[in-house]
Amino acid sequence: QHPSPRRWLRWKPHTSLEHHAAPTGALLCTTVPSPPNPSMPPTPSPISPLPTNPELVARLERIKAKLANEEYRRMTRNITGQEMNGTLAEFGRQVRSVKAVVITIFNFIVTVAAAFACTYLGSQYVFVETAARVLSAVIVASVVGLAELYVMVRTLEGDLGKL
pLDDT in tens, 124-133: 999 999 999 9
On average, the pLDDT of the chain sits at 77
What is residue 27's DSSP assignment?
Answer: B
The whole-number pLDDT of residue 42 equals 64
Orientation of helix 87-122 relative to helix 130-162, angle to 10°: 150
What's the pTM value of the predicted model, to 2 decimals?
Answer: 0.45
Domain boundaries, the chain: 53-82, 84-162
E strand or H helix at 74:
helix 54-76
- Which residues have C-beta within 8 Å of that of residue 20, sequence separation ≥ 6? 27, 28, 31, 33
pLDDT in tens, 80-109: 655 556 677 777 888 888 888 889 899 999
